[in-house]
Amino acid sequence: MPQGKPEVVPDDGLTTRQRRNRPVFAVHTGVMKGKSTAAFGMALRAWNQGWSVGVFQFVKSAKWRVGEESAFRALGRLHDETGEGGPVEWHKMGEGWSWSRKAGTDEDHAANAREGWAEIKRRLAAETHGFYVLDEFTYPLKWGWIEVADVVEAITNRPGRQHVVITGRDAPAELIEAADLVTEMTKIKHPMDAGQKGQRGIEW
Amino acid sequence: MPQGKPEVVPDDGLTTRQRRNRPVFAVHTGVMKGKSTAAFGMALRAWNQGWSVGVFQFVKSAKWRVGEESAFRALGRLHDETGEGGPVEWHKMGEGWSWSRKAGTDEDHAANAREGWAEIKRRLAAETHGFYVLDEFTYPLKWGWIEVADVVEAITNRPGRQHVVITGRDAPAELIEAADLVTEMTKIKHPMDAGQKGQRGIEW
């Protein structure tokens, strides 16, 4: 239910309204695929509020998430044409970040990932978006390409009302500690266990 | 990654392509809210494939999921106007099913739920949609309003290529047994634990 009672009422000097309206920092982790899917579902609600949606994909495959990307690009065009919902930006590291001069064939993934994060930090400081999806962002953290402490600092101290969702397996403990909402997607059963491979429209 | 190798290759007489293209029956259960959100994320991919998307919400609140509903209605209009993506139907029990003559004020929830399921069964038999979201459908099952065996039978033997996702807590064991893909959304941390109530654009 959308408006459950909180389990505790903290003594933090905030009114219920102030507390309610704090922007959310969420982490979707675990081994199952609902992580990104649920983040894009949340982005639908953000779009409907008229918030600017910024998606940043820290993955390689051009095929990956093509369904969500097309749908969100369609929603973004709808906004541009009719004013309905919010604007949408969708950026992919795999093809080279759209704001970057560098070609997408650059093989220095660590530098690419750091460049992506530097841009997100600039946008957080500038309050560019109302809702950020940092898709598969746990991997550059896990591999040591980007410092977790820097991410925690920038997100914790972000100005204004900006919601941030980070997805990916093996979220670092410091990230989970800093987050307001952490969901773990757990596999109970998957078609691949029964020998079924991924299929178009379902897996991407 | 979208195309991982299956862990086992079953001796079921199907080619890899046949096996890959079997329609999926998925269940999203557990205590966290990503269940429906991830189902709607999947529906984005289905829309992008041009499949007919049918959403059936077995919940009362008019506010619940309003963000996703608006976004999908926008995508459905986009399809109707430009041919992009697939058509979208969104039906809610809480206001009285749109195909029903009965008023939404009818207080017999069990009868309403059964009427919803009867319509879904008719649509499965007629191959009306390519992708079904039966949102919060575990509750009428849990409360004994609808027979689990009937649901399992209708979904297991559905004709053609129709994907079905059921969401809700406490999915019955028979449903999990019948499903191809079962994800449990587990709470690690939620803002309500820290006294923060749900907020617009994030929770609905």
Architecture category of domain A39-186 in CATH: 3-Layer(aba) Sandwich (3.40)
In this complex, do B198 and A42 lie within 8 Å of one another by their Cβ atoms? Answer: no
Domain boundaries along the sequence of chain B? 25-185
Contact list in B for residue A78 (CB cut-off 8 A) is: 74, 78
Task: Say whether pLDDT at B138 is over 90.
Answer: yes
Q: Does B28 touch chain A (CB under 8 A)?
A: yes
Distance from CA of B140 to the nearest CA of A (A): 15
CA distance A19 to A12: 9
pLDDT (tens digit per residue) in A182-202: 988 887 776 666 666 667 776
Restricting to A residues 54-113, those with a Cβ less than 8 Å away from any Cβ of B are 61, 63-64, 66-68, 70-72, 74-75, 78, 84-85
Report residue B11's pLDDT band, with 50, 70 and 90 as the boundaries: low
Q: Is the pLDDT of residue B141 over 80?
A: yes
B55 close to B43: Cβ distance less than 8 angstroms: yes
| CATH fit for domain B25-185, picks 3.40.250.10, 3.40.50.300, 3.40.50.1220, 3.40.640.10 | 3.40.50.300
Check if the interface score ipTM surpasses 0.85: no
Residue A22: burial class (beta carbons within 10 Å; 0-12, 13-18, 19+):
middle
Segment B108-117, tens digit of pLDDT: 889 999 999 9
Mark yes or no for CB contact A48/B61 under 8 Å.
no
Please name which of A172, A107, A169 lies closest in space to residue B1, comparing C-alpha atoms: A169
For residue range A141-169, what is the model confidence (pLDDT) as tens digits? Answer: 999 999 999 999 999 999 999 999 999 99
- Nearest CB among B2, B16, B192 relative to A4 is that of B192
Q: Do B4 and A198 touch (CB under 8 A)?
A: yes
Contacts of A135 in chain B (CB under 8 A): none
Strands B181-189, A181-189: pairing kind: antiparallel
In tens, the pLDDT along B96-112 reads 787 876 654 456 889 99
